[in-house]
Each structure stands twice: as structure tokens, then as C-alpha cells.
Chain A
Amino acid sequence: MPRITGEGRHKPHAILATTSSDSHTWNLLFIQLLIEESGWSVANLGSCTPVGLLRDECLRQPPDMIVISTVNGHGAQEAPGIIAVLHAEPALDEIPVYLGGKLCTSTQDERDAVPGLLAAGYTGVLVGEDAVPVFRTALALAGARPRALARPRA
């Protein structure tokens, strides 16, 4: 489906997913609305997203941003596997990937986990009070020059 704004530009596009063990959806619904309100289109892949489905969807319609939102406490364990699968695809290598939510079963473990997740390849790891404002800023910056403009579309 073409995504054309009034100015004839493609809207920036995000793919939103969670980890394969996370059943929560309110976070996905909220993040979807947040992304849409920033002028983006978004494909919300829903709860317990199989990583293969995420990869295939990203290859089928390469997004300007990939967002992983998870709140069940297993995120820090599962997130490295997701970024490894995505980055195994050369076509997806340059797409920013943001991870956020509640990533561990305690807030201390979560703070400790952030550096490792950044090292694993996440563009940003958004936890705690300022996660939403930081995410809005990331959307504004990435949306200002969507990759879709620079790329021929199939």
C-alpha cells in the first residue's frame, strides 16, 4: 500500500514487534499510536512475535525504524537474539532498531543490562521515566529524513 502524504512524500514507516515470549499488548497499542501521531505509518506485528516473522516483514517492506517493545521481564535475555537475526540480513543492517519497556525482572538488573544491549547492536535502549520523550525525539529525527525517500521502492 503506498504511503503518500499531502506533500507527495512517502511517510516514514516503522515495524513494531515484541519478543516471542511476551504476551502483553497494551504497550504495543500505545507505541503504535505514538508512532502514528509522529506522522509515521506502522505495522504492528502483535504479541509473541516470532523473530522469523519480524525478519520477513522487515525484508518484505524495509522500514525506516524497527521498534521492539517488551514488558514481561525476559526482554534483556531475548533481545540479543533478535538483533542477531536482523543484522544477519545485509539489507537490514542500517535500519535503526529501538528496544524499550521493562526488560528485566528487577530495575537494578535492567540498568545493568543496557550497555550490553547497546553493544549487541540496538540503536537505543529506552527504559525508565524518560523513555517516551526520548523515543518521540528519535522518531522526529528519523522521520525528518526517511530512508524510504532515498531508496527505490519495489
Chain B
Amino acid sequence: MMAAPPPAGTFHDFMERARRADRLVVQPRMGFSSVERMRAGLIATRQAADWTAGTVTLDSYTRVGDLAATRRALREGHPLNGYPIVTLGPDTTREMLRGIRDATFPVQVRHGSAAPGAIFTALMACGLDATEGGPVSYCLPYGRVPLNVSVRAWREATRQLADLAATGVTPHLESFGGCMLGQLCPPSLLVAISVLECMFFAQQGIASVSLSYAQQTHPDQDAEAVAALRSIASDLLPQVAWHVVIYAYMGLYPATPAGAGDLLADAARLARRTGAARLIVKTAAEATQIPTIGDNVTALRVAAQAAATVSADTVPANTGPAKGTGIEAEARAIIEQVLSLNSDLGRALTAAFAMGYLDVPYCLHPDNAQRARSYIDADGYIRWGETGALPVSAGTRSRGHGLTSGELLHALSYVRDRYDTSDPALATHR
């Protein structure tokens, strides 16, 4: 049995250095079932730009805990859609990371699991200290695990990760709450869930968190949302180190290389303009297949270059109250309602969904109230169509009927169509 390595390559320390250097960290979503290819992908990520972080994205069998399927696929040589960290065992992964992960290049595990215990155990056994997800954001959109079961599993796994602090490492946990189905979720709800999940992490003893926000349909609405996220985090996460991570658009991605590149560059500029510390990129291959290493390297470079075009003096040092369409007030109202339900964040989250105070539009999970609806307005902003029992009222409009398949497809394709078009009239709102 090998002794644990010294705490080199911790994600938290790297992000602190990036903050002092005032540089945007760019990071791919990348995971391969081949150990050699995973290593090659991390090496390529490390070399792609000055400030990159590595990602090991896990396969979806591991995500749902079907380790028999992972073993079978490895045995029979079927490619998986990610790296099977639990099945491969710690020695293989330590060897895979040898000489790559260090103080200048941290590695985060991305997974998508509502029951992450085995994954957290595996990543800690490999000497890793950073991962992401959350009891809501990796439960509701991604499966059928009951929310209270996910909360229990996340509470236990998060406490286990927090225990790493005893070894001198500061473990880092990122909330995926700023994504929630990837598209058509009103920004105030994304902000609220991201903050609430990070408060949940902090309650389990995690001292370093990141709040996520996924690029949506309008850059001004996105900028207002990220300002709201930072403002609320300053108030509600005073005891922990936190930063904001932007996800390049998580919905239906442009099919043209030019459109995909423009959308990613806009995400990078959004990140810089709003004082976010990190960006998770998407690639031009996203629309058709799982990206190659080369696709990811290109995306990291496009993002790093776009970020560099935003001059440092336009980056806000701190944010005052957000102006605009009331995203911050709405997010605060939702958060306060949830916090009033129970001093235990996990129980509060479960109760809030049961009562519809949290209700994610178009989410089919049985624990989601499914009364809230959203739509993309003529100005390109995402707005509430129906608010159900959500503690928000401003600017709602009842359409009186649900979307047709054509309207749904139109809304889902809105960003893709705008970035793929060469028609300047259509491209104005992007």
C-alpha cells in the first residue's frame, strides 16, 4: 500500500493563485474509458493554455452505480462515455495522474451522481481533492433517485470529503446548481439553487466551494444573474472560500464550428466581465458526438483567447446590488423561503420541493412539483410562464396552455439557431 502523496495539486490552492493573478481558469469536460487516452487528454489540457484545470469526467454506468455494466464494457472492449474511476481502482488512476497533476495543474472529478459515496471514496483513494454536483442538481435532472435519498447520500459523502481537511488538504466542492436541465431554467432559480447547495456543502464542513451558473439565452440577463450570485454568496457564505464558475451553454449546441466558437467566446467574455474565476468549456463537436482531445484543446484555446480580450479594468472587483430585471430580489426571496423551513439545509431542500417553493420548469422527476413553466421572451430573456407555488410574482405571464412539440423544439434550439445563422437580424440578440 502506497503512502498518501503530499498535498500537491490541490484545486483550492490553485484557484487561490489564479485569483491573485487575476486570471480566468479554463477547464474542459473530458472523460475516456481508456486509461492511456485519459492521460493523454489531461496532458493536452495542461498544455492547451496558461491557466487550465484538468477534468476526469466519469462514465454514466459509474454515475448510476451499475459497476457490473462498467466491468462488462471494459472486458468486452466497448467504449464508455467517461472514465470508470471506481472500477479501475486507485493504483491505476494514481499512475494515470503521475507527473501530470501538480501545483500548477489540479484535477477535478465530474460525475453526475445522486448517490456519490463510492465515487467520493474512489477519488479520495486516488489522492484527488475536488469534485462537483449536489443533492438537488445531481438528483432532479438526472434520474429517479428520490430527493431525500440523494440528500442523505450527499450529506454522508460530503462529510467524508470534508474529513480530508485533517490531512492538510482543503477539499473543494462545486455546486452544479447553476445548470438544472441546461436550458429554460429562469436565472433566479439557478442562482438560488447554486447558493443553497453551497450552503449545504458548508454545513457539512466543506471550506472551499464554487457556485456555478450556466450561460443562458441573453448576455445581459446572464451578467445580471452572475452579479446577483456573487452578491448573495458574499452575504450567505461568509465562512468559506468561494468562487463562481461559468458553464458554457449547456443546452442544444450550435452545429457549425463558427457558431460553436462564437458561443464559447461569449461565455468566456461573460465570465471575465462578471468576475467569475473559472469557465467550463464546450466544444464544436458537442452537437454531434463526444468530443475528442483535439476538440477540447481547441475549445480551451478559444476560451482563453476570448477571456484575454476583456481588459482587467472592466472586471468588477466587487459587485453592488444588481440592477436590471430583479433577478437578485427573486433569488433572495426563494432562498429565504427555503431557509425558513428547517435549519438543516438538506431537510429544507427536501421540504421546499415537496411544497413547490422550489420547482424546476420541465423537470420530470417525481419529487418536482412540475407546476412552474418558463419560456424565451421576444427579447431573448428567459421568463416565468407559470410560477406555481414559487415565492416569486414579478413579471409572470400565464399562457394558459403548455408548449407544443414545435414550440419546445424552437425554445430548445433558440441559442443554436442564433449562433448558427449568418442572418445578422437574427444574430442581434445573442
Contact = CB atoms under 8 A, between A and B. Distances in A.
B149 interface: no
B60 A23 contact: yes
Interface stretch (B18-26, B91-99, B136-144, B217-225): B136-144
A1 B40 CA distance: 56
A71 B366 CA distance: 21
A38 B292 CA distance: 39
Interface string B382-421: 0000000000000000000001110011001000000000
A33 interface: yes
Given A29-B408, A30-B405, A46 B63 contact: no
A72 B408 contact: no
Q: How large, as a class, is the contact surface on chain B?
A: 20 to 34
A22 interface: yes
A40 B6 CA distance: 61
B69 interface: yes
Minimum-distance CB pairs A-B, first 5: A33-B405, A23-B142, A48-B143, A21-B60, A34-B405
A29 B362 contact: yes
Nearest to A110: B289
Of A21, A49, A77, most buried by chain B (CB within 10 Å of CB) is A21
Contact of A30 (B81, B182, B290, B412): B412
B236 interface: no
Given A48-B64, A48-B142, A105 B405 contact: no
A143 to B, nearest CB: 16
Given A73-B81, A73-B290, A21 B61 contact: yes
A105 B364 contact: no
A23 B365 CA distance: 11
Given A29-B408, A34-B405, A107-B288, A74 B60 contact: yes
B365 A46 contact: yes
B78 A33 contact: no
Contacts of A34: 405
B363 interface: yes
B82 to A, nearest CB: 10
B100 to A, nearest CB: 24
Given A46-B144, A105-B290, A20 B362 contact: no
A55 to B, nearest CB: 16
Contacts of B141: 23, 25, 47
A7 interface: no
Interface in A42-59: 44, 46-50
Interface of A: 20-23, 25-26, 28-30, 33-34, 37, 44, 46-50, 72-74, 77, 102, 105-107
Contacts of B412: 26, 30
Contact of A77 (B78, B143, B362): B78
B18 to A, nearest CB: 31
Interface string B338-349: 000000000000
Contacts of A107: 288-289
B144 A44 contact: no
A44 B403 CA distance: 16
Contacts of B112: 23
A20 B79 contact: no
- If over half of B's interface residues share one DSSP class (helix, strand or loop), that class is named, otherwise mixed; here it is loop
21 contacts: A21-B61, A23-B60, A23-B63, A23-B142, A25-B181, A25-B363, A26-B181, A26-B412, A30-B405, A37-B405, A48-B64, A48-B143, A72-B81, A73-B290, A74-B60, A74-B61, A102-B289, A105-B79, A105-B81, A106-B289, A106-B290
Contacts of B80: 74
A65 to B, nearest CB: 16
Contacts of A49: 144
A77 B141 CA distance: 23
Contacts of B182: 26
Interface string B207-232: 00000000000000000000000000
Contacts of A30: 405, 408-409, 412
B408 A33 contact: yes
Contacts of B143: 23, 47-48
Interface in B354-387: 362-366
A28 B363 CA distance: 11
B64 A21 contact: yes
Contacts of A47: 141-144, 364-365
A33 B412 CA distance: 14
A46 B364 contact: yes
A33 B73 contact: no
Contacts of A33: 403-405, 408
A21 B59 CA distance: 9
